[in-house]
Structure 1
């Protein structure tokens, strides 16, 4: 792309954003010198851009970041950054778009942040008035502008899942754990960004990344509705996050049917949880499951649509007594052809896949519910508790009762139940 074409594109992009929502576009050199700005409050907002470290963070990522950055500053304002490069690949300029808010940001939060900056009363009042002019955009619109910015600068297309999201300071911030009956302080800006970073891990199938520490396991702060039923509120929060993970997985390349089937399976298990601590465990495992499945889908793109449909059917009917003939009929193949095709593409026998999928969900219920082993065995179509125990032991090295005891999880079975009845 010639410099003339690049200039024309960026100018048109800046004019379009200005007309659409009065969103400012900035260009800084590698030395942080301001080349141009279309922001209506240039001097004041440049102060936030610099003191909030967004410009420094963008420059620090310039050599390694191939896509647009989405960052926030201490006031909860969002900024986009992408890079204009010379033909030799060296950095020519950093293009910034912002500031902008999303619907969760509030003036009260902004006022508290401003008053903590030790500014004069007059300047604080002026800035608050000017911040009212900052565009309020949905996260989806912010993603679209990021995609447009990247195309303007590089001529390359990308998706929302390619956007690199950076929390303040470049590190993830811990969120309060779910606690029964306790209303912990909640920062919606940070919580939302943490959630989005988790969803991006799902989209990318990043099984080797754990940028959240223990916060991933505890994610799912409930909205403080004060309805008098903390467990119900926590369940609703985890259900919503499960739906978001399913959508992110689809964006990452997982079959829509598979993602929806997983969502339904996890929602059913969520409803059977009786303690908030079980929800925390389940939420973490659900997140990791979606990440792993997207990773596997990207690693084996040769898996055909019929095989993906087969997997989705299995996930959606784990608790139902279907046969291989039923499954073959669903995807339009003969049983013989489907089983051969499935094993060739996945390296696993179809019958083994079905059994292992049921065992995995049964194991999850052993960890996160108080249902008896017998009830779980019956729900997942293992025929008898003894067969379930044998299959479970072969896969996990312990019987269901031993596995649950090792976790310190109690059972809903009566105390006088015998070992045979339990397993």
Structure 2
């Protein structure tokens, strides 16, 4: 047992029992090695990890030697894990932390979300067992889970990374709300939303702390959909709409802002994984802010030149003629 693994055992013993999560150990090909999960739940949760796509993401993470950060991965039912590695073993062991839910899962939503995975009788039995285990599965907020993830990762690797290390790994925003979700302070949510959109208007690339503060205050639009992903998709559609309008107020042309917003909304609708949705939301916010930032750091461009640049950027797959650009800004060729 390496020093990192010994420290991990100590760390687990210090975690409050009401916030307990499990640590799993796999080889780089996804083969099970060991876990702190009780034996009664082990097979069901290991199968959940595999059936819901976690094992495939783990093998991809194991091969990504350039990435030294932890990674949060999601699933179509809102179940989350985090991946890390043990540096002394040179990625010969990959650790998965979880599963957790960010909010109390609703049984009817999970039944809908699990339906595509229960075509065989064997998987149908597994889904029934998973739903039976729901009351025993950890539920903790995004903020708490990410702190534990960084503690585990730093313990295993000896690094001293902060929470911002999760940003580029596609960290997940909060999952669907439950019927018992606590009331939010609407005043604080509104002020946080204003601050977040002002970062877009200003093209302020130092937005991370504002974005994280907003995530902690509100998990999104409190509308329950027919499956666990619907609420996240609705939140991203609303978020993208607000951000695109703020970007236009910051100087981004409507031609670019509308087209970009539509593209991100369509991508959100096509997603089948909560991790992908969260990464998409972060990428969208980052993209709009940097576009406005680019405009503000190049103020010498005339309106006509900027309009031509926008047209070219939106038409990379088409043949662009001088006559088209001239007509766009009211000139003859």
1:21-420 superposed matches below 5 A: 21-30=19-28, 32-40=30-38, 41-64=41-64, 65-86=67-88, 90-103=90-103, 105-115=105-115, 116-117=117-118, 118-119=120-121, 124-163=127-166, 164-165=169-170, 237-238=238-239, 242=243, 266=247, 280=261, 288-292=287-291, 353=299, 391-393=302-304, 396=307, 406=328
Deviations, residues 282-338 of structure 1 (Å, cap 9, x unaligned): 9899753413578x8xxxxxxxxxxxxxx9xxx7xxxxxxxxxxxxxxxxxxxxxxx
Task: Tell me how far apart the structure 2 counterparts of residues 58 and 153 of structure 1 sit (CA, whole Å).
Answer: 16
Query: Which residue number in structure 1 is paired with residue 198 of structure 2?
Result: none
What is the Cα-based RMSD across aligned positions, in Å?
Answer: 4.9
Task: Tell me how far apart the structure 1 counterparts of residues 259 and 29 of structure 2 sit (CA, whole Å).
Answer: 51
What secondary structure sits across from 1:99 in the alignment? strand
Task: Tell me how far apart the structure 2 counterparts of residues 158 and 165 of structure 1 sit (CA, whole Å).
Answer: 16
State the 1:268 CA deviation.
Answer: 5.2
Task: Tell me how far apart the structure 2 counterparts of residues 396 and 238 of structure 1 sit (CA, whole Å).
Answer: 26
State the 1:237 CA deviation.
Answer: 2.6
State the 1:72 CA deviation.
Answer: 1.7
Question: Is the Cα contact below 8 Å between 2:28 and 2:62 reproduced in 1?
Answer: no
What secondary structure sits across from 1:156 in the alignment? coil
Change (3 A) 1:54 1:277: same
TM-score (norm 1): 0.44
Task: Tell me how far apart the structure 1 counterparts of residues 114 and 308 of structure 2 sit (CA, whole Å).
Answer: 57
Task: Tell me how far apart the structure 2 counterparts of residues 397 and 293 of structure 1 sit (CA, whole Å).
Answer: 16
Which protein has the larger Cα radius of gyration, Structure 1 or Structure 2? 1
Question: Is the Cα contact below 8 Å between 1:58 and 1:69 reproduced in 2?
Answer: no
What secondary structure sits across from 2:24 in the alignment? strand
State the 1:130 CA deviation.
Answer: 0.3
Task: Tell me how far apart the structure 2 counterparts of residues 281 and 240 of structure 1 sit (CA, whole Å).
Answer: 9
Most deviating of 51-60 and 157-166: 157-166
Deviations, residues 344-399 of structure 1 (Å, cap 9, x unaligned): xx8x8xxxx4x65xxxxxxxxxxxxxxxxxxxxxxxxxxxxxxxxxx53465569x
Question: Is the Cα contact below 8 Å between 2:28 and 2:59 reproduced in 1?
Answer: yes
Question: Is the Cα contact below 8 Å between 1:58 and 1:81 reproduced in 2?
Answer: yes
Task: Tell me how far apart the structure 1 counterparts of residues 45 and 139 of structure 2 sit (CA, whole Å).
Answer: 15
Change (3 A) 1:280 1:136: same
Deviations, residues 65-94 of structure 1 (Å, cap 9, x unaligned): 3111211234331111111133xx632311
Task: Tell me how far apart the structure 1 counterparts of residues 143 and 205 of structure 2 sit (CA, whole Å).
Answer: 15
**Whose relative contact order is higher, 1 or 2, with alpha carbons under 8 Å and at least 6 apart?**
2
Question: Is the Cα contact below 8 Å between 2:247 and 2:292 reproduced in 1?
Answer: no
Change (3 A) 1:110 1:292: same
Question: Is the Cα contact below 8 Å between 1:84 and 1:94 reproduced in 2?
Answer: yes
TM-score (norm 2): 0.53
* Structure 2 gap ranges (5+): 178-203, 208-219, 225-233, 266-283, 310-323
